[in-house]
Amino acid sequence: EVQLVESGGGLVQPGGSLRLSCAASGFTFSSYWMHWVRQAPGKGLVWVSRINTDGSTTSYADSVKGRFTISRDNAKNTLYLQMNSLRAEDTAVYYCSRKTAGTSPYYFDSWGQGTLVTVSS
């Protein structure tokens, strides 16, 4: 069974940093592109970042570019999101998600349960 379990969320002051983790199991982690998607309280889903299978290619939403860094450790089956210079508007539940492998069209076929990040003084 595919499982994605996020951790690392919490309360942080504006300007602070946090690192989220997403532990993957039940599939060959190194074969899949992985993404982070966030959802502010009471709002919709917003794509944040993605990383390819070996970590050599990454992309970011404009709203987090230069502040967030996505990475992965395929030996540990874990995806990360390093978040620096946090702002109040980064407050959200952060989901890791798996992009389906194979041919396009692509979609997110698995999601974690999410971890809440609250940026407040």
Partner 1 sequence: DIQMTQSPSSLSASVGDRVTITCRASQTISNYLNWYQQKPGKAPNLLIYAASSLQSGVPSRFSGSGSGTDFTLTVSSLQPEDFATYYCQQSYTTPWTFGQGTAVEF
Tell me which residues touch partner 1 (CB under 8 A): 35, 44-47, 50, 59, 61-62, 95, 100, 104-109, 111-114
Tokens representing 105 are 């069209």
Q: Shortest CA distance to 21 belongs to which of 92, 99, 77?
A: 77
Give whichever of 16 and 26 is closer to partner 1, judged by the CB atom: 26
Question: Least CB distance from residue 103 to partner 1, whole Å?
Answer: 10
- If the CB atoms of residues 59 and 120 are measured against partner 1, the closer one turns out to be 59
What is each CA distance from 104 to 1, 23, 72, 73, 100, in whole angstroms?
A: 23, 25, 23, 25, 9
Helix (H, G, I), strand (E, B) or coil at 15: coil
CB of 45 to partner 1, least distance (A): 4
Measured from the CB atom, the residue of 66 and 105 that comes closer to partner 1 is 105
